[in-house]
């Protein structure tokens, strides 16, 4: 009788745990969420249990949308994005009455179109259980689900065929051993490349006033130079969307860059009227700028909106952001680097791209002035930690608050 209400409360707690600054907690408790869904006896109860998980974990959208869009965002818009995304992500779980179906739903949710807003994915638990194993870790997680077939954990040894019991015990022991070994190896330090560093800033949103923007621009250069003044500094990562890639902005930044350094600057790069990319641009003291990375999938609705055609390169012209869909790793100073830009850090399908490319270092850039107090930055950090741990590469982060 109490199974369903108890499951609702517990799964809501699992979803909310993502907003706690304990990196492993949300990803690990997401496995408990799957178990609670499997315990339900009807599609409607499975759906509601899943909905409580996603709704509790993404409640920060209410405040985040209101801050991002300011007076232009009615309350119903934030509520629609919050409850609508939770409702869609919960749909597949209504049919999950077997462990293999859970694995299938996780895969389908991770791929577009649901993958474009697939927060709180239990796939990230692979980074907690099998760190450093990359794609093999995701396969091991899938094997863990398949081991649950037949409800063998609810049956006594007498109910199981002797050979089946031995086989399942062997598989469980092997996975446990692999998990312990990989977690032991994960305790070894993962040092960032020598001379690489990220710089956090606190310059907020770019103002519309030209004079105020010049003051902000000067503050950016001053803070970055103060933070990266060590003589052995080679590569400096700056936060997302600091500037627009106009010739004047690029020239001013290049003049400030010490010789021998590369600055990886988060910039909006104009592509054609009405369309820009959320990019990381490599700049030196001299030489042409080089666009290294483009956001795999910018924030839907607010940034990515192909149904609206813009006429220029500013917000007043309904400018939209292009999705790259695939972010390749790049060679920077002899190091194979891969970047995840802001919203991309929440999406499993973007992280799987990183897993497949096995980079030596991960670059994380954020611009989260709008998300303070929402829990979203914490979810983003926890997700990035779990997937970065699965890849086994050190991460360098630059955030603008």
CA distance 2 to 329: 50
Vertex 238: Cα angle to 115 and 399 (nearest 5) = 60
What residue ranges do the domains of the chain occupy? 3-186, 196-400
Largest CA distance in the chain: 79
Q: CATH for 196-400?
A: 3.60.110.10
Assign residue 274 a region (left: φ > 0; alpha: ψ between -120 and 50; beta: otherwise). left
Give, for all 401 residues of the chain, the pLDDT tens digit. 578 989 999 999 999 999 999 999 999 999 999 999 999 999 999 999 999 999 999 998 887 776 666 555 566 777 888 899 999 999 999 999 999 999 999 999 999 999 999 999 999 999 999 999 999 999 999 988 887 765 544 455 555 556 666 777 788 888 889 999 999 999 888 899 999 999 999 887 777 777 887 888 888 999 999 988 888 999 999 999 998 898 888 999 999 999 999 999 999 999 999 999 999 999 999 999 999 999 999 988 888 988 888 888 877 778 899 999 999 999 999 999 999 999 999 999 999 999 999 999 999 999 877 677 788 899 999 999 999 999 999 999 999 98
User: What is the rounded CA–CA span in Å between residue 330 and residue 292?
Assistant: 7
Question: Token pair for residue 343?
Answer: 């919203």
Q: Give the pLDDT of residue 70.
A: 57
Give CA 89 to chain center in angstroms.
16
């Amino acid at each position: 009788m109490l199974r369903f209400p108890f499951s609702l409360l517990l799964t809501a707690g699992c979803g909310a745990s993502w907003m706690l600054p304990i990196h492993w907690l949300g990803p690990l408790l997401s496995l408990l969420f799957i178990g609670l869904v499997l315990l339900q006896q009807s599609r409607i109860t499975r759906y509601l249990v899943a909905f409580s998980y996603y709704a509790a974990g993404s409640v920060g959208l209410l405040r985040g949308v209101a801050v991002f869009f300011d007076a232009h965002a009615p309350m119903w818009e934030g509520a629609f994005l919050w409850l609508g995304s939770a409702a869609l992500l919960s749909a597949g779980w209504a049919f999950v009455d077997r462990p293999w179906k859970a694995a299938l739903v996780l895969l389908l949710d991770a791929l577009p179109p649901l993958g474009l807003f697939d927060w709180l994915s239990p796939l990230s638990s692979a980074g907690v259980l099998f760190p450093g194993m990359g794609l093999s870790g995701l396969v091991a997680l899938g094997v863990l689900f398949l081991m649950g077939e037949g409800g063998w954990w609810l049956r006594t040894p007498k109910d199981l065929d002797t050979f089946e019991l031995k086989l399942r015990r062997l598989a469980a022991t092997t996975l446990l051993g692999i998990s312990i070994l990989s977690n032991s190896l994960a305790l070894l330090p993962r040092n960032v490349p020598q001379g690489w560093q990220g710089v956090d800033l606190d310059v907020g949103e770019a103002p519309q006033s030209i004079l105020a923007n010049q003051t902000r621009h000067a503050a950016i250069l001053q803070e970055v130079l103060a933070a990266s003044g060590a003589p052995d500094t080679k590569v400096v990562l700056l936060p997302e969307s600091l500037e627009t890639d106009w010739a004047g902005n690029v020239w001013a930044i290049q003049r400030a860059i010490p010789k021998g350094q590369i600055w990886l600057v988060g910039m909006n790069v104009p592509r054609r009227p009405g369309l820009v990319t959320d990019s990381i641009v490599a700049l030196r003291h001299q030489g042409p700028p080089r666009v290294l990375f483009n956001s795999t999938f910018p924030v839907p609705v607010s940034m990515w909106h192909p149904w609206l055609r813009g006429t220029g390169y500013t917000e007043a012209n309904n400018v939209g952001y292009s999705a790259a869909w695939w972010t390749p790793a790049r060679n920077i100073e002899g190091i194979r680097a891969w970047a995840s830009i802001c919203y991309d850090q929440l999406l499993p399908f973007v992280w799987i791209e990183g897993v497949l490319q096995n980079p030596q270092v991960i670059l994380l850039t954020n611009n989260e002035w709008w998300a303070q107090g929402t829990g979203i930055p914490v979810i983003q950090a926890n997700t990035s930690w779990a997937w970065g741990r699965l890849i086994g590469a050190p991460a360098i982060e630059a955030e603008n608050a």
